[in-house]
Amino acid sequence: MKKQLRGKLVLGALLLLGLGGCGSEAGSNGVIVNPPVTGPVPDMSIDACFTMTTSLGEVGLGIDSLHTPQSAANFIGYVDDGFYDGTLIHRVIHNFIIQGGGFTSGMVAKPGGAPISNEARVGFSNLRGTLAMARGRQSDSATSQFFINILDNPQLDYSASSPGYAVFGKVLFGMEVVDQIGIVATTRVGEYSDVPLEEVVIERIAPSECPIVED
């Protein structure tokens, strides 16, 4: 169990996109110190919904534009522009995450737009089935890429030592498709690791009706 937990922490720290950040103060020991989250973590409010059609099936995505407005507007903007159509789920780390939105066939990079602020401080946790923004080492560096958590990954949350990865939505249906993608064989392509051996294509992401939530 300790070995598995240690492995997950290493994956979170090293294999996703790096946990360095800007906009945080470094203490005398060099550890990043973030201001504490104040107030209770809000309930996720799903107010925009989409169907992501992949070469392995459909996945319903719900977005919270109330509590994570920048992440939501960013994602919706890419959807409206058709940016994601024909891109790949280019990174699959078993029992961790699947990641997409930044490469086309052959692992050709598709540059995104301007980076956005990291909204991880809202407090949503990277639980199984949640949708989050991928980013570089800098905290406010997310552009088009996103990931879906296959398992609970609280090590990716905002904390005193990490700016975290901003969760801004969740899977509404098709988690079995996510799980299927999450077990595909992977390989290394040039400088990129954890690339599906057979391409998993995001054929389209399109707006859809949100499910009616009964009081």
pLDDT, residue 28, reads 36
pLDDT in tens, 126-146: 999 999 999 999 999 999 999
Distance (Å, rounded) from C-alpha 98 to C-alpha 61? 14
pLDDT, residue 36, reads 53
Single pTM value for the model: 0.85
pLDDT, residue 130, reads 98
- The whole-angstrom distance between residue 46's C-alpha and the CA centroid of its chain comes to 16
**Full set of structural domains in the chain with CATH:** 2-35+42-208 (2.40.100.10)
Whole-number percent of the chain with pLDDT over 70 = 80
pLDDT in tens, 166-201: 999 999 999 999 999 999 999 999 999 999 999 999
Tokens (6 digits) for 127? 């639980």
Could you count the other beta carbons within 10 Å of the beta carbon of residue 161? Answer: 14
Supply the mean pLDDT for the chain.
Answer: 87
Tokens (6 digits) for 49? 């919904």
pLDDT in tens, 61-75: 999 999 999 999 999
The CA radius of gyration of the chain, in Å to the nearest whole number, is 17
In this predicted structure, which of 4-13, 90-99, 102-111 has the lowest mean pLDDT?
4-13
Summarize the confidence of residues 111-118 as an average pLDDT: 97
